[in-house]
Amino acid sequence: MPSVKAITFTCITASEVRVSGLPIHFSGFARSDGRVGVRNYLVVLSSVALVNRWAELVASAVPEARVVAGEFMRGLRSPDALRQERASEALVTHPNVGACLVLCHDAASARLWRKYLADCGRPHAVLALMDQAGMEAAVGAGRQILSRLDDVRRTVERVPCPIGALTLALECGGSDPTSALVANPAIGLVVDALIGAGGGAIVSETVEFVGAEEPVRDRCPSAQLAARLLGAIAAAEERMEEDGERYRGVNPTAENIEAGLTTLIEKSMGAVAKTGSRPFAGLLQFGETPATPGLYLMDTPFFSPCSITGMVAAGAQITMFGLGVFNPSGNPLAPTIKVCGNPMTAARWRDAIDVDLSEVLAQRLSLDQAAQRLGESLVETAAGRETQAERWREGQFIVPKTLTPL
Amino acid sequence: MSEIERAHVVVDARDNVTTLLDEGIDLCRLQGGLKVAPGIAFGHKAALRAIAEGEAVIKYGVAIGRATRAIGQGDHVHVHNCV
């Protein structure tokens, strides 16, 4: 066989490369619960979909207000009800939230929310639609309170916070073969550096670890943890197979296949690269907050708006999002840093990508230089620089349901 | 960069496929001299050697799938011949 003189990439296993220069501190918001925010968002939570429109109308009066609204519904069965309740509670008290207005439908749920938020340590208010007299009055009342919350929120200032207080949500979307070569390994190097500084990272989308069991097992410090992680991956694979459906075109998705990814294992090998080289610290359920710093796998569906919702609910302040072909997803409560290694995508989506690393493929940029650039972007974003997904107000909240609602 | 040879990357020494890194889909030679079928898009894979039906398709040093039919050296490897 003729020898193939291809470009030599060492990036897949470049564990010895380190991102130097992550500062010890960044400028953030110190919350009374000890957590640290990278934003001081004004949030309107629609606690049940019945009041989604009310929330939109109220929030539209304050340009900076962000609506947290999902398909939050009644009639869910446990554990779906519990998951939805915990996720909405966690989202509204996220460290990036500077002040929140919670909108409810009935007075009883408003009382529960007031009780829950009593010790949340930041300006808040709760209103029930049933306590109002007509839509116009309801919208007016909401806007008045929101404006007051906005004034109080603005008095909070950034202070030096340890970089190790950050937890990253790790995501990849629109994966293509460059994801595994550039964007994801660059993210992995930054993750290694952040965890080295005492920080944390959460990766999710369990089914995208099918085929990458070996690298996961190798990075589990105990047989028990390996069994838990591999058990979650095996369960995801079983679910995929048990109904006899063909999942090609679902995952890998149609755009993955068009971009050149053939199988789920090929995709998984790229997905795992964004986790870096540190050992796994544990397995989390959807929205569960990690107890210690380090790297966690959260067991979630693979649809990115849903998995990001889970990681943000767990407290992740920033999402690192590796792109091959373009994927718009973001989250209204956590800035999303879009990282791209595909030169065509980077050129076409310049106004929606934050860090263009496509020079790596042309060999004009080494992977550790790429990671350095990404690390700088992380610190600037943490300190307040608006990301493209924030500018476009991208993002949804999707909490998975496992049972047919009542 | 050569104007007659296609840029590509073999991720792991054990791989039997390589990933094309340019848009020179009319060219029929890879950097290093191996022949390649025309028409293979950026990011897609070409076989570095003949792969028999049922044989593993190896990328990153791991079996990412199996050939569903015989694949010739330099052929496009994708969903039409690999699962």
Architecture of domain B1-83: Roll (2.30)
Assess whether A243 and A220 both reside in one domain: yes
Q: State the CB neighbour count (10 A cutoff) for residue B55.
A: 14
Q: Does the distance separating the beta carbons of B9 and A9 come in below 8 Å?
A: yes
Q: Quick check: A262 and B79 CB within 8 A?
A: yes
B36/A34 Cα distance (integer angstroms): 58
pLDDT at B54: 97
Q: Do B32 and A2 touch (CB under 8 A)?
A: yes
- A364 and A278 in a common domain: yes
- Give the Cα separation of B36 and B34 in Å (integer): 6
Confidence of residue A21 (pLDDT cuts 50, 70, 90): low
Phi and psi torsions of A124, nearest 5°: -155, 165
- Residues 6 or more apart whose Cβ sits within 8 Å of residue A200: A166, A167, A168, A194, A290, A292, A293, A294, A295, A296
Q: Give ipTM to 2 decimals.
A: 0.95
Say whether A262 and B33 touch across the interface (CB within 8 A). no
Which of A5, A6, A263 has its CB closest to that of B82?
A263
Last residue of a domain, one of A153, A176, A206: A153
Residue-level pLDDT at B3: 67
Flag if B79 and A248 touch (Cβ within 8 Å): yes
- Which residue in this structure is represented by tokens 């067991």? A299
* pLDDT, position A52: 97
Pull the structure tokens for residue A76.
């869910």
* Among candidates A2, A269, A344 on the partner chain, residue whose Cβ is nearest the Cβ of B33: A2
The pLDDT tens digits of the residues spanning A287-337 come to 999 999 999 999 999 999 999 999 999 999 999 999 999 999 999 999 999
**Do residues A83 and A56 share a domain?**
yes
| Same domain as A181, residue A127 | no
Give domain status of residue A402, yes or no. Answer: no
* Residue numbers of B between 9 and 68 with CB closer than 8 Å to A: 9-12, 18-19, 21, 30-34, 41-45, 48-49, 57, 59-60, 62-65
Considering the domain architecture, whether residues A189 and A53 belong to the same structural domain is answered as no
The CATH number of whichever domain residue A123 belongs to comes to 3.40.50.2300
pLDDT in tens, A192-243: 999 999 999 999 999 989 888 988 999 999 999 999 999 999 999 888 888 7
CA A54, CA A113: separation in Å to the nearest integer? 17
Same domain flag for A305 and A329? yes
In a domain, A95, yes or no: yes
Is A398 domain-assigned?
A: no
Does the pLDDT at position B44 exceed 90?
yes
Q: Considering Cα of A259, then A265, then A270, then A275, what sign does the dihedral take?
A: positive
Q: How confident is the model at residue A166 (pLDDT cuts 50, 70, 90)?
A: very high
Taking residues A158-182, report their average pLDDT: 95
Instruction: Evaluate if residue A3 carries a pLDDT over 60.
Output: no
b or e along B14-36 (b: 16 or more beta carbons within 10 Å of the residue's beta carbon)? ebbbbbbbbebbebbebbbebeb
The pLDDT value recorded for residue A74 is 92
Average pLDDT over residues A141-155: 97
**Contact B34/A266, CB-based, under 8 Å?**
no
**A369, part of any domain:** yes
Among candidates B43, B48, B57 on the partner chain, residue whose Cβ is nearest the Cβ of A176:
B43
Say if CB A139 and CB A54 are below 8 A apart: yes
Mean pLDDT of A234-256: 80
Q: Verify that A84 and A122 share a domain, yes or no.
A: yes
β-pairing, A294-298 vs B45-47, is unpaired
CB pair distance less than 8 Å for A262 and B7 = no
Are A257 and B82 inside 8 Å of each other by CB? Answer: no
| Count: domains in chain A | 2
Question: Would residue A294 be called left, alpha or beta, if left means φ above 0 and alpha means ψ between -120 and 50 degrees?
Answer: left
- Specify whether A284 is located in the same domain as A317: yes
* Shortest distance, CA A344 to any CA of chain B (angstroms): 10
Interchain CB contact of B79 with A (< 8 Å): yes
Q: Is residue A269 part of a domain?
A: yes
| Residue A184 located in a structural domain | yes
> Residue A207 domain-assigned?
yes
Q: Which among B42, B80, B81 is the top mutation candidate for probing chain A, defined by the most A β-carbons within 10 Å of its own β-carbon?
A: B42
- Which residues on chain A place their C-beta less than 8 Å from a C-beta of chain B? 1-7, 9, 12, 176-178, 180-181, 211, 214, 248, 257, 259-260, 262-263, 265-266, 269, 324, 342, 344, 361
| Termini Cα distance of chain B | 33
Between the alpha carbon of residue A142 and those of residues A226, A285, A337, B7, the distances in Å are 49, 34, 32, 59
Q: What is the mean pLDDT of residues A248-272?
A: 88
Last residue of a domain, one of A100, A130, A153: A153
Q: Name every chain A residue with its beta carbon within 8 A of the beta carbon of B44.
A: 177, 260
CA gap A29, A10 in Å, rounded:
38
**Average pLDDT of span B58-79:** 95
User: What is the residue extent of each domain of chain B?
Assistant: 1-83
Mutation to test the B interface, candidates A175, A181, A266, A325, most B Cβ within 10 Å: A266
Asked if residue A401 belongs to a domain, the reply is: no
Show the domain range for A335.
Answer: 22-27+161-391
Per the listing, tokens 């008045």 go with A144
Instruction: Return the sign of the alpha-carbon dihedral for residues A273, A27, A98, A61.
Output: negative
CA distance B68 to chain A (A): 12
CB contact (8 A) between residue A6 and residue B8:
yes
Percent of chain A with pLDDT over 70: 93
CB-nearest partner of B31 from A5, A248, A269:
A5
Pick from B45, B48, B62: which is nearest to A265 by CB? B62
